[in-house]
């Protein structure tokens, strides 16, 4: 019954992705030039991601297949984490399991991550591997089985090589499982310290394994490593004071729902978890280590922001997706619904239901926005390609095309505004950091629709600057012009 409910929630939330294919940002590169994006992933240290693509036989990107399996692995992820929680608690009731699973799968943060469909299945597999790895850790503790522990370390290392943000997920899941371990076993101070120390050592070995494998890979292949994650660390670029200000701004936005991806559940569940911890202190239920773990649980949604020293990309906040779902599950499982207490009996279930509805509405609206954006940009692409065809005199020509500036789409009133979005829901015509970057991105997108356009060199683009500076913006007459052997499409002066 519970699996059917979760599956229904997944299909309601992600059904528009399954039945209406959209080409979102970065997916165009996977379709047109898969090798280039795989090389980029490898240079970032995501060698496990490209490894899985080849092992699973999906190196040729198929968006429909990816979306179908994305839905499958969403369900599998919930089952794995539910099994882990059930093992640690001894008996996880259906309602807490449903609370975790439904809040988890409807998260707008997770939706932003899965909007990058070309890597969505592999990221979910990585999340599954994290759950299995920690499951094996606790099994190895109980049975003193070194083989299970080693397998868990290998799986965690593989997960980190798929997507580095999964490192913070491992930490968040570890914190959550220690809370459950305390709840069931009420360990002595010594036993609690042993479990936590072993878990930390396991984590450090897993991370070290990942970095060692990456080092060996780069030495063998000779591939240059890009500091993709390092470049985002504000502590290095902004200094301590500015980074602390950015973190406070990030906390404020997260707690007080200042972005479409956030809601007040995090604030309320944090308050309730804190009250629960204070109540345990008064009753002297646990030793002091438990309260340190509870404090860590409260901090866990912000691990990525704390590491980077500011607001991270929403799609990397997988630790926050897990922590919010876990805190709600923990609260529901911990409170006695059969006592005559209004807060316990009615308000917490109401919080869960409101959160579920809110997240479902935001996530489906986000994907609806992406769908409408895709329809509008496809219409624009058709108009532009028709004009290019008239200028070149050949439908399937390998014509060099330069795109200058960017074009803000209209969408409709049911869509999110562009300023509300991060990347999912953006049009390819709206993203251009430079003429070279915009030409690359927009040419890639046009090519997904069957247009065989070529990307001019940076020298060719710079040589034509005077020409495109003087051109009007599309759709004005003269906004698409052939100069030498290149066609210039002037979208704006930006």
Whether residue 258 is found in the same domain as residue 154: yes
205 found inside a domain: yes
Rounded-to-integer distance, Cα 271 and Cα 265, Å = 10
pLDDT at res. 288: 85
Task: Kindly state whether residue 366 falls inside one of the protein's structural domains.
Answer: no
Please indicate, yes or no, if residue 340 is contained in any of the structural domains: no
Query: What letter would DSSP give residue 264?
Result: T
Same domain, residue pair 104 and 10: yes
- 156-185 pLDDT, tens digit per residue, is 999 999 999 999 999 999 999 999 999 888
Into how many domains does the chain fold?
Answer: 2
Is 90 exceeded by the pLDDT of residue 305?
A: yes
**315, 334, 353: which is the final residue of a domain?**
334
pLDDT in tens, 424-457: 999 999 988 888 998 899 999 999 888 888 888 8
Quote the domain boundaries for residue 107: 2-334
Distances (CA, A) of 433 to 39, 430, 447: 21, 10, 20
| One domain for residues 326 and 474 | no
- In a shared domain, residues 213 and 282: yes
HSE at residue 363, side-chain half, CA atoms within 13 A, is 30
Residue 263: pLDDT over 70: yes
Question: How many Å apart are CA 482 and CA 456, to the nearest integer?
Answer: 13
User: Is the model's pLDDT at 338 over the cut of 50?
Assistant: no
Q: Is residue 443 part of a domain?
A: yes
Q: What is the mean pLDDT of residues 404-411?
A: 91
Decide if 302 contacts 244 (C-beta within 8 A).
Answer: no
Q: What spatial distance separates the first Cα and last Cα of the chain, rounded to whole Å?
A: 54
Same domain, 428 and 316: no
Instruction: Estimate the share of the chain in helix, then strand, then coil, as percent rounded to the nearest 5.
Output: 70, 5, 25
Share of the chain above pLDDT 90, in %: 61
Q: What percent of the chain has pLDDT over 70?
A: 96
Same domain, 123 and 219: yes
What is the value of pTM for the model shown? 0.93
Distance CA(218)–CA(224), nearest Å, equals 7
- Which stretch of DSSP H or E encloses residue 52? helix 47-55
Q: Examine residue 203 and state whether it is found in any structural domain, yes or no.
A: yes
Q: What is the pLDDT of residue 337?
A: 45
Q: Is the pLDDT of residue 224 over 50?
A: yes
Mean pLDDT, range 326-349, rounded to an integer: 74
| In a shared domain, residues 61 and 132 | yes
Q: CB–CB of 37/29 below 8 Å? A: yes
Residue 297 in any domain: the answer is yes
Task: Report the chain's mean pLDDT, rounded to a whole number.
Answer: 90
Query: Is the same domain home to 387 and 330?
Result: no
Q: pLDDT digit string (tens) for 59-90?
A: 888 888 899 999 999 999 999 999 999 999 88
Do both 16 and 108 map to the same domain?
A: yes
- Residue 296 has a pLDDT of 95
Same domain for 426 and 329, yes or no, is no
Is the predicted pLDDT of residue 115 greater than 80, yes or no? yes
One domain, residues 384 and 283:
no
Query: What count of residues does the chain have?
Result: 494
Q: Which tokens sit at 375?
A: 């329809």
Q: Which residue has the tokens 């660390």?
A: 233
Mean per-residue pLDDT for 10-25?
A: 88
Q: Residue 400 forms beta bridges with which residues?
A: 454, 486
> Domain boundary residue among 334, 355, 389?
334
Q: Which of 79-93, 104-118, 191-205, 352-366 has the lowest mean pLDDT?
A: 79-93
Question: Is 349 within a domain?
Answer: no
Does residue 147 have a pLDDT over 90? yes
Whether 368 is in a domain gets the answer: no
The pLDDT value recorded for residue 349 is 85
Angle between the N-to-C axes of helices 318-334 and 265-283, in degrees from 0 to 180, rounded to the nearest 10: 50
Same domain, 156 and 51: yes
Last residue of a domain, which of 306, 334, 362?
A: 334
Q: Answer yes or no: is pLDDT of 238 > 70.
A: yes
Instruction: Give the C-alpha separation, 118 to 437, whole Å.
Output: 20
More confident residue, 99 or 94: 99
């Amino acid at each position: 019954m519970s699996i059917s409910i979760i599956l229904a929630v997944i299909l309601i939330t992600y059904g528009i992705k399954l039945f209406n294919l959209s080409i979102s940002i970065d997916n165009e590169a996977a379709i047109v030039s898969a090798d280039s994006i795989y090389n980029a992933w490898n240079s970032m240290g995501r060698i496990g991601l490209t490894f899985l693509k080849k092992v699973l036989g999906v190196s040729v990107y198929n968006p429909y297949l990816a979306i179908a399996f994305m839905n499958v692995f969403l369900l599998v992820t919930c089952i794995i984490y539910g099994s882990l929680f059930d093992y640690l608690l001894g008996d996880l009731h259906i309602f807490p399991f449903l609370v975790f699973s439904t809040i988890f799968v409807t998260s707008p943060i997770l939706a932003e991550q899965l909007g990058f469909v070309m890597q969505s299945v592999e990221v979910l597999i990585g999340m599954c591997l994290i759950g299995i790895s920690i499951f094996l850790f606790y099994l190895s503790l109980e049975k003193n089985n070194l083989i299970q522990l080693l397998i868990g370390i290998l799986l965690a290392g593989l997960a980190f090589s798929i997507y580095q943000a999964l490192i913070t997920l491992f930490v968040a899941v570890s914190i959550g499982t220690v809370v459950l371990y305390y709840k069931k076993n009420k360990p002595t101070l010594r036993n609690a310290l042993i479990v936590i120390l072993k878990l930390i050592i396991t984590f450090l070995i897993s991370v070290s394994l990942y970095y060692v494998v990456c080092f060996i890979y780069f030495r063998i292949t000779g591939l240059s490593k890009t500091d993709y994650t390092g470049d985002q660390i504000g502590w290095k670029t902004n200094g301590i004071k500015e980074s602390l200000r950015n973190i406070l701004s990030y906390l404020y936005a997260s707690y007080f729902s200042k972005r479409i991806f956030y809601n007040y559940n995090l604030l309320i569940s944090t308050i309730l978890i804190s009250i629960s911890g204070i109540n345990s202190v008064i009753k002297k239920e646990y030793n002091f280590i438990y309260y340190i773990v509870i404090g860590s649980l409260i901090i866990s949604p912000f691990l990525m922001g704390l590491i980077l020293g500011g607001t991270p990309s929403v799609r990397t906040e997988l630790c926050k997706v897990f922590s919010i779902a876990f805190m709600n599950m923990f609260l529901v499982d911990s409170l006695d619904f059969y006592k005559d207490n209004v807060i316990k009996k009615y308000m917490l279930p109401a919080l869960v239901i409101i959160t579920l509805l809110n997240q479902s509405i935001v996530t489906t609206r986000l994907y609806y926005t992406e769908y409408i954006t895709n329809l509008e940009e496809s219409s624009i692409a058709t108009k532009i390609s028709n004009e290019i065809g008239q200028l070149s005199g050949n439908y399937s020509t390998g014509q060099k095309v330069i795109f200058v500036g960017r074009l803000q789409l209209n969408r409709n009133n049911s869509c999110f505004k562009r300023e509300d979005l991060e990347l999912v829901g953006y049009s390819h015509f709206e993203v251009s950091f430079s003429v070279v970057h915009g030409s690359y991105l927009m040419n890639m997108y046009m090519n997904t629709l069957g247009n065989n356009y070529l990307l001019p060199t940076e020298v060719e683009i710079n040589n034509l600057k005077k020409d495109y500076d003087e051109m009007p913006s599309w759709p004005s007459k003269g906004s698409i012009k052939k100069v030498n052997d290149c066609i210039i499409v002037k979208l704006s002066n930006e």
